[in-house]
Amino acid sequence: MGVRVGHLQVIVSIDSREGAERVGRALVEARLVACFQVIGPMSSIYRWKGEIEQAEEWLCLAKTTTERFDELRERLVVLHPYENPEIIATPIVAGHADYLQWISAETAPAVRS
Amino acid sequence: MGVRVGHLQVIVSIDSREGAERVGRALVEARLVACFQVIGPMSSIYRWKGEIEQAEEWLCLAKTTTERFDELRERLVVLHPYENPEIIATPIVAGHADYLQWISAETAPAVRS
Amino acid sequence: MGVRVGHLQVIVSIDSREGAERVGRALVEARLVACFQVIGPMSSIYRWKGEIEQAEEWLCLAKTTTERFDELRERLVVLHPYENPEIIATPIVAGHADYLQWISAETAPAVRS
């Protein structure tokens, strides 16, 4: 290609394990992420309308490419149950080459014949 | 402002859930983080005085801005029970715009009248 | 040294807690990571031979330097039970200086007399 594709770890929080797994399956199915990992529960502490709140959430870790991120983010905003969901991406700056190539291959849009 | 504010995910490990949640509440209260998530327990393996040790810890994930990081780090060093606590930051290079704006708004120093 | 050493958080997934802890002890022993944290279980969702699969894994978070990463990756590929293991690194762009120095010290190759 000539252009080096970057890879991202995308971090999302969702309020139930079942909801998180449902979102994950939809994103793998759509080839927007190569994998989607759900871990929890965790306690999330934040301010809401001036009060400190604490809620139970599940942490989701997904792998994708920089090329696919915009479409992933748009889809996640639709699939996610919150009004303003946590969707953040951290860069993958090194890794096992075969694994990075697997992320690229699994997120390449499917060619339809 | 003219300057693009960066966002960070800050990672901290603490030896009890209660201690982690106490630190988290203090940091949200002080507007040094927009949210503070506590997950665990995890097994931490490391070398201490020449021996391999294993300890139970809780993983904490906080969101803040690059502008607030130095003050956050200074406060964390005081609040954290360890002599040399794990406090590291990874960059947030992309994300849902409304969520990133929420991090910025929640960590802006309060204006007092 | 004159050259600023970078630090990395390395992320690995392994299919059992015992296997993950065994890998972690070997890497700390070899001074390839300063610490190795194991948390889980998590549900991993991915495509395998055209089908969506779901498996239980443990998330591993290790700290090292950019200088030690290549040797760490090579050792991990050997120690890890998978054919194509998840081994990815995210940059540590800020942190508690004493903790970052501890990572550097604990991963410096041992001097043998």
Residue C107 token pair: 């991963």
List chain C residues with CB under 8 Å of A24: 43, 45
Residue B58 token pair: 């809780």
Separation between Cα atoms, residue C9 and residue A21, nearest integer Å:
25
Separation between Cα atoms, residue C36 and residue C26, nearest integer Å:
10
**pLDDT for res C50:** 85
**pLDDT for res A50:** 85
Q: What is the mean pLDDT of residues A39-68?
A: 96
- Taking an 8 Å cut-off on Cβ atoms, the answer to whether B86 and C106 are in contact is no
- Bridge-based pairing state of the strands B35-48 and A51-65: unpaired
Selecting from A29, A38, A95 the residue whose C-beta is nearest the C-beta of C89 gives: A95
- Asked if pLDDT for residue A1 goes beyond 50, the answer is no
Portion of chain B with pLDDT greater than 70, in percent: 93
- Asked if pLDDT for residue B2 goes beyond 50, the answer is no
Q: Which chains touch C (3 or more CB pairs under 8 A)?
A: A, B
Q: What is the mean pLDDT of residues A18-27?
A: 98
- Asked if pLDDT for residue B7 goes beyond 90, the answer is yes
Separation between Cα atoms, residue C87 and residue A29, nearest integer Å:
23
List chain C residues with CB under 8 Å of B45: 21, 24-25, 28, 35-38
What's the pLDDT band for C113 if we cut at 50, 70, 90?
low
Q: Which chains touch A (3 or more CB pairs under 8 A)?
A: B, C
Q: What is the mean pLDDT of residues B36-59?
A: 95
List chain B residues with CB under 8 Å of A57: 37
Q: What is the mean pLDDT of residues B9-28?
A: 98
What's the pLDDT band for A5 if we cut at 50, 70, 90?
low
Residue of A27, A112, A103, A106 lying closest to A72 (CA atoms): A27
Separation between Cα atoms, residue B1 and residue C111, nearest integer Å:
51
Q: Residues near C109 by Cβ (< 8 Å), separated by ≥ 6?
A: C31
pLDDT digits (tens, 9 = 90+) for C73-98: 999 999 999 999 999 999 999 999 99
Q: What is the mean pLDDT of residues B73-88?
A: 96
Closest chain A residue by Cα to residue B102 = A84
Closest chain A residue by Cα to residue C69 = A94
Q: Which residue has the higher pLDDT, B5 or A3?
A: B5
Separation between Cα atoms, residue C9 and residue C64, nearest integer Å:
7
Select the CATH number that applies to the domain covering B7-107 from these four: 1.25.40.340, 3.30.70.120, 3.90.1150.10, 2.60.40.10: 3.30.70.120
- Overall size of chain B counted in residues: 113
- Asked if pLDDT for residue A82 goes beyond 70, the answer is yes
What's the pLDDT band for A4 if we cut at 50, 70, 90?
low
Q: What is the mean pLDDT of residues C14-36?
A: 98
Here the ipTM equals 0.94
Closest chain C residue by Cα to residue A61 = C44
List chain C residues with CB under 8 Å of B40: 39
Q: How many Cβ pairs closer than 8 A exist between chain B and C? A: 85
Q: Is C113 on the interface with A (CB under 8 A)?
A: no
**pLDDT for res A71:** 98
**pLDDT for res C2:** 41
- Asked if pLDDT for residue C100 goes beyond 90, the answer is yes
Q: Is A91 on the interface with B (CB under 8 A)?
A: yes
